[in-house]
Chain A
Amino acid sequence: MIVDQAPYSLRQALKTGLTVGIPVIFLLGLFVVPVVNILSRGLQVGGELDLSPVIDVIKSESLRKIIAFTFVQATISTLLTVIVGIPGAYVLYRYRFTGRGLVRALVTVPFVLPTMVVASAFLALGVKTSFGAILVAHIFFNYAVVVRTVGGLWAHLDHRTELAAQVLGASKIKTFVHITLPALRPAILAAGAICFLFTFTSFGIILILGGPSRATLETEIYRQTAQLLDFKTAAGLSVVQLIAVTGVLLITSRLITRQNIALGLVPADRTPRVRTRQQRLLLLSNLSFMALLLGLPMATLVIRSFSTPTGFGLAYYRALGTLRADSVLFVPPVEAIKNSIVIAVISAVIAVTVGGLAAHAIIRYGQALNTALTIPLGVSAVTVGFGFLITFDTAPFNFRSSWLLLPFAHALIAIPFVVRAITPILSSIDPRLREVAETLGANPLQVWREVDLPISARAYLVGAGFAIAISLGEFGATAFLARPDRPTLPVVIARLLSQPGELNFGAALAASSVLMVLVAGAIFAIERARVGSVGTF
């Protein structure tokens, strides 16, 4: 092993190369180069950079309106999601009650459901296309982001700080505002940033639930690229989108790092059981909210997947296996599930590997890499998808139509979540633990395996769970890739939805229900997994 013989500086260089280099190469190859390639189609005239499309976009009144609306809806959606998510995080991560794991898993399911399925559930519930419908749907999708991120930190906050404040005479509300909220700020900001990116680039929700007169940067970029083939306008819009997204990320990242207060973190196991009336009331009201906002649309889907013209039954599930069974594109449902799982697992392995390395690099070299890895979340899927097409078109990188592109594209989306899951735990590991291990004869790889991995295993697992869930439900990016006939569940659902006939629709609902169970199962399993017992944090 080279690492064994190399002098100190070279070993450091190798470590840096590995932890920084691989994520950077990944990002360059799968994001920067494709996006630059596709943008240059609109921003290049005779080999020269031409920024006039950007100026044209800013000059156009209708496009300015679209930009403004994009910001407004994303900001309001984010604020609302954070506001309703914080109490949700509290009850799901500060209280212990029977069935908590299941609720946590179920709450996460909406995050990865295909938009079209959810939108149809909302429409079926009588929600009319409107600005309000956009907001409600955005909360539905992003609730889990806030609950999981904020809850993850909250669970480890030392409750005694709050008690101390109360002993000093602070009311419960004052304690929350002055003690708890500042402590949670990094998590709230991080979750808010993610919510903002998702709602800023929201596509299906805007189209289906917003009604036809509402357009955002994302829908307009899609229209200009995929329908009108106007690369100039699309590039101008994409540049605006990139600047906005990068700006928001830089600001939040600064706000997060500025508050670099060491928090007294404790193991999460010490969360109290629900005892007082007040606690029960808080728990109940939050659970009811979740049931109404998240549970009802999902339940509607599931119930309708069983409601056939001849009564309650499995006809739609059977149809999944028989409908168009003679078509070359038909895959038995089991096969589609298998495709989905294989792709999800591969993308999770990629995301955890790259994200894990990146987490090490971020701890050492700062947040810039984290910001860079998050930017893809805020860039139009059609831009990245079309960028892939013209980037991976020559040997030996001609894999633009290979099914392997899918897990890589999914990993690109999942990596920011993996990084966010792993970094806090890694940075809480006393660096001297690694040094002690080294002096005891552990080489760098063994140090990672014996110290970093066991302590952060749960975080890795949580990251992998997120990656799997994201990949299972992903359709936005998938839709713009040239896909060989190896459909995942969301692709099957989209195909079923695109044809008339109640059997098609019913089978789509059945497939969606299967997808929900799959996602919930994956997350539930990960919530329950106990890898190692981490005494201290």
Chain B
Amino acid sequence: MKRLALLLAATLITSGTYAASYQKSSSAAEEKTITLVTHDSFSISKSTLKSFTQKTEIRVRLLLSGDAAVALNQTILTKDQPLGDALYGIDNTFLSRGLSANLFIPYRSPALSTVGEEFKTGEDYRVTPIDYSDVCINFDKNWFADRNLAVPQTWNDLIERKYKNLLVVENPATSSPGLAFVLATIKHFGDSQWRQYWKKLRKNGVQVTDGWESAYNGVFSAGAGNGDRPLVVSYASSPAAAVYYSDPQLDASPVGTMLDSCFRQTEYVGILRGTKHQAEAKKLVDFMLTRKFQEDIPLQMFVFPVRNDVELPPVFKNFAEVAPDPQAISSSRIEKNREKWIADWTETVLR
């Protein structure tokens, strides 16, 4: 009995001190803490964030919630009582939704001058581009080499007989790269033809998984799960990640990218309407475009920085490629058609 009481007391004390330590750390510089709402894939190095705090005396509190869509939808849902001061991670496939929900206040960061025109939205600076990534088909180099089979190069290669049952894609209804890939086909084949193309892909044995994890880790032959399909919808940066996250370090990437199949996703940061820390949030946006932050992006999130004047890390230089001519669809058109496209795709590929 006594032991139980002791246990209970110990628990309460532990949780109490735990809570207290947390309270202390957040209240110490309360007026100077801003909250950045973002998705689960966000990452940045400690030293980078520290340098921001040292320079500006602003602490950044991170609030992670789900994938990019969940993070955005939660932000929209709570826009009257915002969860934080800025949202990072809204991309061009969802941008229009965020803009029409009137989430952001305009801010034209002086640092924007360093960013290529192709990333700017022309939407009165309500969001600021930070990074981009190309969703492309990755291939297992060894698989093709072992079989003396040429790696597919074009869209039309993918529906050839010799590449039957080799491709795995993600369901656009539940996966962001899955949707990006469908968008790439829509852009490439046009409204009238893209479903035809998917019909042929289906006939050629395309496999669909719910998300990137199952496709890449489960089905892809060069993924961790040693699956049986050598073609997967992933990112142009995946070959670099495959090298970077290997032990012992690989000399060459086992993964290649089919650069003709890419759709570009650009991620933005926006200052949330209703923030009480507008000045501080602006400083954070500026900071995210500094060389320090931009240089940190590749190895933290495995995406490319929007500034073209930063030095990429060697593993990126050697193994990650940038699509020369990625597909793009305007954000407003995506938002208007997303449901219909997904329904059409489902009808074509799954029914």
Q: Is residue A502 within 8 Å, beta carbon to beta carbon, of the partner chain?
A: yes
B 77-93 binary contact with A (CB < 8 Å = 1; else 0): 11001011000000000
Q: State in angstroms the CA–CA spacing of A505 and B217 once bound together.
A: 8
Given known contacts A500-B234, A504-B224, what 10 new A-B pairs fall within 8 Å (CB)?
A: A123-B218, A124-B218, A327-B43, A327-B46, A349-B8, A349-B15, A483-B65, A494-B40, A501-B243, A505-B224
How far apart are the CA atoms of A506 and B225 in the complex, in Å?
Answer: 10
Q: Return the chain B residue nearest A322 by Cβ.
A: B247
A219-261 contacts to B, CB under 8 A, are 219, 223, 225-229
A319 at the interface (CB under 8 A from B): yes
A227 and B173 form a contact (CB under 8 A) = yes
Q: In the complex, A215→B218 CA distance in Å?
A: 20
Please choose the segment from B67-75, B106-114, B139-147, B284-292 that sits at the chain A interface, where 4 or more of its residues have CB less than 8 A away: B67-75
When the two chains form the complex, which single residue of A124, A329, A389, A454 contacts B62, counting CB atoms closer than 8 Å? A329
Q: Name B83's contact: one of A309, A389, A394 (CB within 8 Å).
A: A389
Residue numbers in B under 8 Å from A489 (CB-CB): none
Cross-chain contact A207 with B174 (CB below 8 angstroms): yes
Which residues of chain A have C-beta atoms less than 8 A from B67's C-beta?
A: 226
For A230, give the chain B residue with the smallest CB separation.
Answer: B339
Which candidate, A24-32, A87-95, A97-105, A474-482, is the interface stretch facing chain B? Answer: A474-482
Check A401–B238 contact: CB distance below 8 A.
Answer: no
28 contacts between A and B (CB under 8 A): A123-B225, A212-B174, A212-B209, A226-B67, A226-B69, A227-B73, A228-B339, A229-B77, A309-B247, A324-B300, A327-B46, A328-B44, A328-B46, A328-B49, A345-B15, A346-B15, A349-B12, A386-B73, A389-B74, A401-B84, A449-B1, A457-B1, A480-B66, A482-B37, A484-B61, A499-B302, A500-B238, A500-B255
Selected from B22, B76, B208, B225, the residue in CB contact (under 8 A) with A229 is B76
What are the 7 A-B residue pairs with the smallest beta carbon separation, nearest first? A501-B245, A505-B224, A207-B210, A393-B81, A212-B208, A503-B245, A213-B350
CB-based contact A401/B83 at 8 Å: yes
- Please count the residue pairs between chain A and chain B whose beta carbons lie under 8 angstroms apart in the complex: 196
Bound complex: CA A207 to CA B170 (Å): 11
A116 to B224, CA, bound (A): 14
In the complex, are the beta carbons of A386 and B217 less than 8 A apart? no
B11–A345 contact, CB under 8 A? yes
Q: Which residues of A lie under 8 Å from residue B339 when comparing CB positions?
A: 228
Interface string of B13-35 (1 = CB under 8 A from A): 01100110010000000000001
Task: Give the chain A neighbours of B19 by CB distance below 8 A.
Answer: 404
Taking CB atoms, residues of chain A closer than 8 Å to B211 are 207-208
Interface members, chain B 217-269 (any A CB < 8 Å): 217-219, 223-225, 227, 234-235, 238, 241-248, 255
Our pick among A227, A329, A390 for the contact of B69 (Cβ within 8 Å) is A227
Question: Which residues on A sit within 8 Å (CB–CB) of B328?
Answer: none
The answer on a CB contact under 8 Å between B78 and A393 is yes
Tell me if B171 is interfacial: C-beta within 8 Å of chain A: yes
- Nearest-Cβ distance from residue B35 to partner chain A, whole angstroms: 8
In angstroms, Cα B69 to Cα A187, docked, is 42
- Which chain A residues have a beta carbon within 8 Å of chain B's beta carbons? 41, 116, 119-120, 123-124, 129, 207-208, 211-213, 219, 223, 225-229, 308-310, 315, 319, 323-324, 326-330, 342, 345-346, 349, 386, 389-390, 393-394, 398, 400-401, 403-404, 449, 453-454, 457, 479-486, 494-495, 497-506, 531-532
Inter-chain contact A386/B37, CB cutoff 8 Å = no
With a CB–CB cut-off of 8 A, which chain A residues contact B47? 326
Cross-chain contact of B247 among A124, A503, A532 (Cβ < 8 A): A503
- A531 to B174 alpha-carbon distance, docked (Å): 48
A157 to B: closest C-beta gap in Å:
28
The answer to whether A328 and B241 have CB atoms under 8 Å apart is no
Within 8 A of A (CB), among B306-348: 338-339, 346
CB of B326, distance to nearest CB on chain A (Å):
19
The reply to whether the CB of B278 lies closer than 8 angstroms to some CB of chain A is no
Tell me if A226 and B66 are in contact (CB < 8 A). yes
Instruction: Check B246 against A479 for contact (C-beta < 8 Å).
Output: no
Q: A212-B171, A328-B45, A502-B224 are in contact. Are A394 and B81 (CB under 8 A)?
A: yes
CA gap between A326 and B313 in the complex, in Å: 15
When the two chains form the complex, which single residue of A208, A328, A403, A457 contacts B214, counting CB atoms closer than 8 Å?
A: A208
B95 to chain A, nearest CB (A): 14
Complex contact B247–A315 (CB within 8 A): yes
Q: Which residues of A contact B64 (CB under 8 A)?
A: 329, 482-485
Chain B stretch 35-57: residues in CB contact (< 8 A) with chain A: 35, 37, 40-47, 49
